[in-house]
């Protein structure tokens, strides 16, 4: 089954978010929907400050508090996932209509690489059967270092400063 086009996905997640906000008696503000749209228009992972800056730079009048509070709402309703890749801050990524994946994190340059291996899903299914347990989601983060210094941003910067 093909994933919906980006515009279709954005419309669908807006509908899901609208329903969620109504059920929770929360206000449906344009700023909240701008946060949602920015997350779903972006590739990869964003931290809240980067998201705030993007919105401000695009002319959206939004406060930091609105960004943080909206991210919490989006996590609660299952539209956004939050990760902490060993740094002191969280990063966020879209969760709806986005393939299950796991992460490799370089401890030198903090690069995050996504990968998908069907064997992980096989292990998950096996654990469900063995333990009579229903897995809703999983998170796998593998920490290490980039081997190729040209790919490792921090190593490349340190080498450039030595010359």
Per CATH, the number for 6-94 is 1.10.10.10
Q: Is 131 helix (H, G, I), strand (E, B) or coil?
A: helix
Q: State the 10-residue block means of pLDDT for the chain, 163 residues long.
A: 68 96 96 95 90 95 96 95 83 82 86 86 93 88 86 59 50
Domain at 102-162: CATH code:
3.30.1490.190
Residue 133's pLDDT is 96
Give me the count of residues in the chain.
163
Tell which residue, 28, 10, 8, has the closest CA to residue 18: 28
- What SS3 state is found at 93? strand
Domain ranges in the chain are 6-94, 102-162
Q: What is the structure's pLDDT at 159? A: 53
Position 163 scores a pLDDT of 43
The predicted structure's pLDDT at residue 3: 47
Cβ of 13: how many Cβ atoms within 10 Å?
A: 25
For residue 114, the cross-strand partners are: 103
Supply the pLDDT for residue 6: 74
- Is 12 in contact with 4 (CB distance < 8 Å)? yes
Nearest 5°: CA angle at 76, between 60 and 15? 60
């Amino acid at each position: 089954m093909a994933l919906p086009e980006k515009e279709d996905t954005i419309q669908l997640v807006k509908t899901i978010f609208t329903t969620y906000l109504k059920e929770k008696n929360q206000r449906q503000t344009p700023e909240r929907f701008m946060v949602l749209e920015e997350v779903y228009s972006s590739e990869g992972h964003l931290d809240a400050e980067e998201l705030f800056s993007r919105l401000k730079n695009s002319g959206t009048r939004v406060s930091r508090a609105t960004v943080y509070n909206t991210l919490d709402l989006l996590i609660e309703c299952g539209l956004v996932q939050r990760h902490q890749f060993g740094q002191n801050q969280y990063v966020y990524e879209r969760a709806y209509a986005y393939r299950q994946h796991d992460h490799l994190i370089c401890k030198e340059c903090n690069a995050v690489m996504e990968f998908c291996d069907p064997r992980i899903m096989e292990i998950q299914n096996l654990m469900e059967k063995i333990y009579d347990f229903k897995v809703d989601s999983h998170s796998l983060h593998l920490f290490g270092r980039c081997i190729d210094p040209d790919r490792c941003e921090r190593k490349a910067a340190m080498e450039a400063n030595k010359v």
